[in-house]
Structure 1
Amino acid sequence: MSYEKNKIELEKNGYSVLADLYSDIEISQIIACIENAEQSGNSFMKTKDLFAIRQLIKNVPELTDLLFNKKLTELISDLSESEYFLTKAIYFDKPSESNWFVAYHQDLSISVDQKTELENYTNWTFKKGQYGVQPPIEILQDTITVRIHLDKTDKSNGALKVIPKSHMKGIVRADSKDWNIEDEYVCEVEKGGVMLMKPLTLHASNRTTNGKKRRVIHLEFNKHNLTEPLAWLEHYGIKASTQQWL
């Protein structure tokens, strides 16, 4: 199967939605794997409005083969001729009673292994035991975000809203006049489907109002090495000979 149409949409609009990347059986196996994981340490965050697991592959390594099935592996290789690797994996569970919403923003931070003063690396943070930094813009421009939906997601349970083509404007202030709320598009995704997004695409999500879950696995891929001595906190590459993820 070719994903050329999705590649064109992603480059042009900053997002694309696909159905049926995972079967119901695969989704059930992924959910069971997460539910059976030992949930302790800094990488696990639980509040009444959110349950999240950072560094998902490191903390739940059994997920690797389940997530990187044949369809996802083909999708990543179709999206770029360059060799991409995984740089971030997070699990989000927005519970059915959640009243949590996120205002329009761009994803400007990457997770790295240490803090060091480097040109064009700014806005350092340290949260839950890991460093974040805003890297040179070409790294953000070349990031591909893949959001795997473990539940059917629509406007009633927090589907992402995006401003099409906003990724073409570089880094923008959310209150700037460089974008228009009237252009907003709601990315509804079926269970087992995937949303592709550029991190510079302005996006937001509403509160849940229909009493249904919205569980998502958020993956980020890139092709750049960082300026030494800095390195990605997470780095999982593809083995071209077997198409298996390491």
Structure 2
Amino acid sequence: MTNETIIQHRQELNINGYTVIPDVFSESAIGEMIAVIDSADHTGPLFRKTNDLFAIRRFLQEVPSIAPLIFTPGIRQIVRELFGEQHVPVKSIYFDKPGQSNWFVAWHQDLTISVAEKLPVAGYGPWTVKPGQFAVQPPTDILESIYTLRIHLDDTDEQNGALKVLPGSHAKGVYRADSIDLNQTPDVSCCVKKGGVMIMRPLLMHASGRSSNGHNRRVIHIEFSDRELAGGLQWAETRMLSFSGLD
């Protein structure tokens, strides 16, 4: 990215709470990622498969051979320039929304983080505990430290469940979705071509609709933070990134 585009994306993240960067990955690179995902053992407890959704939790841990394909010099430059050199991956999910899916997600903010174990720590709660998974709502400043990077493995638009967002809503703190007035704050659909990435802040109010065009929507979702958690809590996933050789 040039200095001009870096400044543009920083401004969009600060003002709107999201930005889209096209053509980060080539067609062949996306094909390699899909091949690795398809060849993974899908029987583990962190793999979820229904008629409406296929998802892999702790994706980088469950499919470790995907990491070199994701953390290219281009992605590491994005992380360094837009997030900061201290930001590291702390949560990863792979989503595959089939073309015939009726699955949709109502308006919400991403208010939980994944941690290694449940500990009684002031300011952290409520908790969601599933087999091998511990999720908790942290203090707001932790949520504000997070950037979410979404790598699109398919062309995504309004017909196959592209995210809809309320620009600038990330700056309002934590608030209820039922307080939204779409007449006052119109939503925007974030259409992203295959190989592009969308970056968003977790407190950005967002939703997604059902698929209507028969096309899949496959996305790799990775969250980054530069914060340590309180009271002995540890992020469920932490992967260090090297920024050497990028200057």
The alpha carbon displacement at 1:81 in A equals: 3.7
Structure 1 residue aligned with 2:12: 9
Give the drift of 1:185. Answer: 0.4
Determine whether 1:161 maps to 2:164: yes
Between the aligned partners of 1:165 and 1:182, the Cα distance in structure 2 is 9
Q: Which amino acid aligns with 2:31?
A: S
Deviation at 1:207, TM superposition (A): 0.3
Q: How does 1:70-89 map to 2 (within 5 A)?
A: 70-89=73-92
Residue 103 of structure 1 is matched in structure 2 by 106
- Deviations 1:119-151 (CA, angstroms, capped at 9, x unpaired): 110110012421000001011011000010000
1:104 offset after TM fit, Å?
0.3
TM-score (norm 1): 0.95
Question: 1:214 and 2:217 equivalent?
Answer: yes
Letter in 1 for 2:147: I
Counterpart residue type for residue 116 of structure 1: L
> Of 51, 55, 59, which aligns to 1:52?
55
Unaligned runs of 5+ in 1: none
Say if 2:86 and 2:226, in contact at 8 Å, map to a contact too. Answer: yes
Q: Distance in 2 between matches of 1:72 and 1:97?
A: 31
Q: Is 1:228 equivalent to 2:217 in the alignment?
A: no
Give the corresponding residue for 1:35: 38
8 A contact 1:4–1:78 mirrored in 2: no
Contact 2:229 2:235 in 1 (8 A): yes
Percentage of pairs with the same residue: 47
SS at the partner of 1:34?
helix
Distance 1:240 1:35, change over 3 A: same
Contact 1:93 1:216 in 2 (8 A): yes
Among 112, 119, 123, the residue aligned to 1:120:
123
Contact 1:145 1:198 in 2 (8 A): yes
Distance 2:68 2:144 in 1: 28
Whether the 8 Å contact between 1:111 and 1:232 is mirrored in structure 2 is yes
* Structure 2 segments unaligned to the other structure (5+ residues): none
Checking the alignment, whether the CA contact within 8 Å between 2:80 and 2:243 is kept in structure 1 is no
TM-score by structure 2 length? 0.95
- Equivalent residues of 1:166, 1:179 under 8 A apart: no
Residues 85, 180 of structure 1: CA spacing in aligned structure 2 closer, same or farther, 3 A cutoff?
farther
Give the superposed CA RMSD: 1.4
Q: Aligned partner of 2:13: which letter?
A: L
Match of 2:188 among 175, 185, 189: 185
